[in-house]
Amino acid sequence: MSRIHDPKFHLKATVAAATLLAAGSAFAAEAPVENGASQVAITMTGDDGGSCAIDFDSAKAGPVTFSVTNKTATALTEVELLSENRILGEKENLAPGLPKVSFTVTLGGGDYQIYCPGAANEKVAFTVTGAPTPKPTGGVSAILQQGTDGYASYATGIADAMLTAVDKLKADIDAGNLDAAKQDYAKARPFYERIESDVDGFIMPGFDVTDNHGNLDYLIDMRASNLDPEVGWHGFHAIERDLFEKGEITDETKTLAAELQTNVAMLIDVAKGLQYMPEDLANGAAGLLEEVQSNKITGEEEAYSHIDLVDFAGNVEGAEQAFAFLQPGMEEIDPELTAQINDQFAKVNALLETYRDPDALGGYVVYTEELKASDAAKLSKAIQSLQEPLSTIAEKVATAQ
């Protein structure tokens, strides 16, 4: 008797099929609810160049907790929850082997994306069923103000994540681990680049913007090209000089790392107290693109590590987030301009993707003199095409009724 006609074989096959069907149904079903929140697990592995998998692809409207575990994905370090390009929740610094971390957000019905930069499939669809989140109410100015409130939370979250990255940088500097510190430096830099448009508010209590002793932007991000001799050199780029040009960790490097840690912690407190107007977000977004043109494309920003494209991407993301929080209001004010700006952001991001390298510091190729000579004009043109329409929105949001 051939095996295919064996009744025992048919029984095993039936059980196996039922098991597979049940497994597929479990994935398709909504995430289970525990402690009042839907529970979704995100697992990062190094399979197929880096993967980001979720155990449930939908949840019911309400609180949703995303638990993130990086098992073996050395090239993946962050997870974001996106809605119409806005970052609603995220976790950074996700090195393999670290304990599970989580974030909880309250979501209305609709389509979302789990975004894992650098994964083979970077964006995974996620659906929330039930009543959609109520749209902002009131006039356009009220809608815009709700957007600025959302941006304030985003900026504070980025500052928090930066401190976690700087903690790791300091720990490896204190341990004298030069190679690890270089990796840490590249991972920490993008956080500041995303929110540096808010620098006018980055002032310690008791100081004014003209005194660099209390200017956190100076103390965290000043370059060698524009130093205040009375205050001296502090922050990221002084550390960059030691790690990449000198190629050594000294007692001075350790002091610089401790100062940076203290100043970033203070930045978090300052950021929590900042209040924004819609035009602040608009001007800030345009300002971040000016930063790209003046410092990143020229190669001035990262003079020793040459990870300027990492900073370039950070500035673009910060500008895109500022605009995304204004977008609901801008769609009421000028839908055609809104669509044009989104289209230009997509083109810039597509161009940046061509410079991705998961094995390079910060995930982007080194910005060599040869690359600058061949590609600077192309990069500048792409940014200019985005900056021109984006620079017109400040007046529109400031005068909205």
For 128-186, how does the pLDDT look when each residue is reduced to its tens digit (9 = 90+)? Answer: 999 877 766 678 989 999 999 999 999 999 999 999 999 999 999 999 999 999 999 99
- Strand bridging mode 37-45 / 62-70: parallel
Task: Give the number of C-alpha atoms closer than 13 A to the C-alpha of residue 381, restricted to the C-beta side.
Answer: 5
Q: Is the pLDDT of residue 5 over 60?
A: no
DSSP state of 214: S
Q: Of the candidates 69, 98, 129, which is a domain's last residue? A: 129
Q: Of the candidates 104, 129, 154, which is a domain's last residue? A: 129
Q: Is the pLDDT of residue 28 over 70?
A: no
Q: Are residues 153 and 245 in the same domain?
A: yes
Q: Are residues 187 and 42 in the same domain?
A: no
Has residue 305 been placed in a domain? yes
Q: Are residues 277 and 379 in the same domain?
A: yes
Q: Are residues 46 and 168 in the same domain?
A: no
Neighbours of 241 (CB within 10 A): 18
Choose between 84 and 251: higher pLDDT. Answer: 251
Domain that holds residue 43: 31-129
Choose between 242 and 93: higher pLDDT. Answer: 242
Q: Of the candidates 129, 150, 168, which is a domain's last residue? A: 129
Q: Are residues 124 and 149 in the same domain?
A: no
Nearest to 282 by CA among 223, 221, 337: 337
Has residue 2 been placed in a domain? no
**One-letter amino acid of 152:** A
Q: Is the pLDDT of residue 310 over 70?
A: yes
Q: Are residues 371 and 226 in the same domain?
A: yes
Has residue 92 been placed in a domain? yes
Has residue 18 been placed in a domain? no
Q: Are residues 178 and 241 in the same domain?
A: yes
Choose between 22 and 365: higher pLDDT. Answer: 365
- CATH code, domain with 38: 2.60.40.420
Residue 238 has which token pair? 């002084």
Q: Identify the band that residue 267 occupies on the pLDDT scale cut at 50, 70 and 90.
A: very high
Q: How many domains does the chain have?
A: 2
Has residue 13 been placed in a domain? no
Q: Are residues 47 and 170 in the same domain?
A: no
Q: Are residues 236 and 300 in the same domain?
A: yes
| Separation between Cα atoms, residue 45 and residue 53, nearest integer Å | 8
Nearest to 80 by CA among 171, 1, 190: 190
Predicted TM-score (pTM) of this structure: 0.76
Cα separations (Å) of 292 from 296, 311, 363, 370?
5, 8, 18, 18
Cα separations (Å) of 297 from 301, 310, 312, 368?
9, 11, 8, 11
**One-letter amino acid of 360:** A
Looking at residue 72, its pLDDT comes to 93
Has residue 103 been placed in a domain? yes
User: What percent of the chain has a predicted confidence (pLDDT) above 90?
Assistant: 62
Residue pLDDT, tens place only, 339-393: 999 999 999 999 999 999 989 999 999 999 999 999 999 999 999 999 999 999 9
Q: Which residues are within 8 A (CB) of 345 and not within 5 positions of it... i.e. 6 or more apart? A: 85, 316, 320, 323, 386
Q: Are residues 120 and 188 in the same domain?
A: no
Residue pLDDT, tens place only, 202-260: 889 888 777 889 999 999 999 888 788 999 999 999 999 999 999 999 999 999 999 99
Residue pLDDT, tens place only, 38-59: 999 999 998 877 889 999 999 9
Q: Is the pLDDT of residue 1 over 60?
A: no
Q: Are residues 289 and 188 in the same domain?
A: yes
Q: Are residues 190 and 209 in the same domain?
A: yes
Has residue 134 been placed in a domain? no
Q: Is the pLDDT of residue 14 over 50?
A: no
- CATH code, domain with 393: 1.20.1420.20
The sign of the dihedral angle between the CA atoms of 99, 182, 89, 309 is negative
Mean pLDDT on 19-34 = 58
| Separation between Cα atoms, residue 109 and residue 302, nearest integer Å | 43
Has residue 38 been placed in a domain? yes
